[in-house]
Amino acid sequence: MKKWMVVLFGVGVALGQVAPEANYDEAKVGSYLLPDPLRLSTGAAVGDADTWRRIRRPEILRIYEGEVFGRTVAPETKVVAEVLDGGTPALGGKAVRKQVRLWFGGKKEGPGATVLLYLPAKSKGPAPVFVGLSFGPNATVHADPGIVLGETWVRDPEDRTKMVKRAVGEEARGRGASRWHVEKIVERGFGLATACYLEIEPDFVGGLGHGVRALSQKAPGADEWGALGAWAWGLSRMVDYLETDPGVDAKRIAVVGHSRLGKAALWAGAQDERFALVISNNSGEGGAALARRNYGETLQRITTVFPHWFAGNYAGYGADPGRLPVDAHMLLALMAPRPVYVASAEEDRWADPQGEFLAASAAGRVYELLGKRGLGTDEMPGLHAPVMETVGYHIRAGKHDVTEYDWEQYLRFAEKHLGR
């Protein structure tokens, strides 16, 4: 069978649609008023942690479910785990590699995802673990020849309007390794668990019938989950499995994601409090950036280009994001009191670094109500000057990517809040 080395990063834009132009002029951002995370739908103020926990937090979650990401309609079947690699020395003896196939439909067929897990070989006990989805098959995460190669979705070379699933070849090994820095992670005493996001749910318009959503949903809906909801669900299923591994400290699991997978990481962390720490890397619109800021990618543009990511209701706010009853600061606040870290890149204007910082800063009020320290500043820090309170933030030089610098900050943040 012919092998394919192409890794798909996402396909959107229905025929006939035109994406609006982006604004990069701060003078054209305009004024906006953020909704108050500490005011109930009745108008009453939230003055204590108990009211936040019992009433306001569930209110915000319900809004995100109904208006942004959609309600998670999980399949009724129990996920079946098939062990492919029970534990093999790897990375020159620095790590133990494990691989398991999670079958979402309750039997060993249909949609599922293969989890790649590295644990530090010299750990004296259960290790804290970073969990994150990758854009390509697991073999792209590291050149380790023992990683199952996997498959991906590509455009059909004979009919460019269609997407097809194809096996990847040896050429794909390690292609995305610069975004993971596996050796650095295990040398610092952390494990890493990853899976390809495309296995959980394909990333193209019309992909609904090929992933986990097909087990419980027939068509897109106004408040039904989109692909981002499915990817977030998949992250939680990875935690289900990690809880059964004696080498994993299930109380110290951090979820991390880049770009659209940063949005998925935030939504996973908001819904699933087993994630002890949440990291958003360049997640932008629909993630850590304020939707009300007319800068870079906007709500209108993202729902035009990637309508399959969200609940159908989200697109209805495109013409006037100020009508949206929530914004990114409230998504970040759903992590409280757990640590949350937001990272931006100077040249990644598309993701609106200023909007990401402002959201992280505004989330601090909820953290302070719960006895934690937010960012502690409303002045955006300079390049390479990370802030690491319970809410963390940095902006680095460079473009939309995950770099060694980013991972160094995530490791420092995790060491401070989770230990090692």
Work out how many domains the chain is built from and give that number. 1
Contact 176, 402 (CB under 8 A): no
pLDDT digits (tens, 9 = 90+) for 150-167: 988 888 888 888 899 888
Q: Which CATH number goes with the domain that contains 325? A: 3.40.50.1820
**203 within domain boundaries:** yes
What digits encode the pLDDT tens for the residues 256-304? 999 999 999 999 999 999 999 999 999 999 999 999 999 999 999 999 9
154 belongs to a structural domain? yes
Residues 28-46: what's their mean pLDDT? 97
400 in active site: yes
Is the residue at 49 inside a domain?
Answer: no
pLDDT at residue 220, as a whole number:
87
Q: Mean pLDDT across the stretch 58-79?
A: 95
Tell me what the mean pLDDT of segment 314-330 comes to.
98
pLDDT in tens, 93-142: 999 999 999 999 999 999 999 999 999 999 999 999 999 999 999 999 99
Q: Kindly write down the DSSP assignment for every residue of 200-234, as one continuous string.
A: HS--BTTGGGGSGGGGT-SS--SSB--HHHHHHHH
Amino acid at 271: Q
What is the residue-averaged pLDDT of the chain? 94
What is the predicted pLDDT for the residue at 17?
A: 53
pLDDT > 70: percent of the chain: 95
Residues 6+ apart with CB under 8 A from 225: 69, 70, 71, 72, 73, 213, 217, 233, 311
CB 331 within 8 A of CB 263: no
| Predicted confidence (pLDDT) at residue 193 exceeds the cutoff of 60 | yes
- Answer yes or no: is 16 within a domain: no
Flag whether 13 is in a domain. Answer: no
Helix (H, G, I), strand (E, B) or coil at 173: coil
The two tokens of residue 376 are 């502690």
Decide if pLDDT at 1 tops 90. Answer: no
Query: What local confidence, expressed as pLDDT, does residue 330 receive?
Result: 99
Q: Are 306 and 282 in contact (CB under 8 A)?
A: no
10 vs 221: which has the higher pLDDT:
221
Residue 367 has pLDDT above 70, yes or no: yes
Residue 272, amino acid: D
CB 152 within 8 A of CB 8: yes
The DSSP result for 299-325, as a single string, is HHHHHHH-GGGS-GGGGGGTT-GGG-S
**Can you give the pLDDT at residue 18?**
56
Q: Is residue 161 part of a domain?
A: yes
Model confidence at 12, in pLDDT bands (50, 70, 90)? very low
Q: Provide the pLDDT for residue 19.
A: 57
Whether 389 has a pLDDT exceeding 90, the answer reads yes
Please give the residue range of the domain that contains residue 300: 65-77+120-418
**Token pair for 242:** 């990690």
Q: Are strands 340-345 and 275-281 parallel, antiparallel or unpaired?
A: parallel
pLDDT of 16 higher than 90: no
Query: Exactly one of 259, 280, 344, 361 is catalytic; which is it?
Result: 259
- Is 31 annotated in the active site? no
| Residue with the larger pLDDT of the pair 389 and 21 | 389
- In the structure encoding, which two tokens stand for residue 294, read together? 């007319």
30: in domain: no
Residue 227 belongs to some domain of the structure = yes
Mean pLDDT for the stretch of residues 19-35: 90
Could you tell me which of 166, 179, 206, 212 has the C-alpha nearest to residue 11? Answer: 206
pLDDT score at 420: 81
Question: Rg (Cα) of the chain, in Å, rounded?
Answer: 20
The per-residue DSSP string of 343-412 comes to EEETT-GGG-HHHHHHHHHHTHHHHHHTT------SS---TT--EESSEEEEEESS-SS--HHHHHHHHH
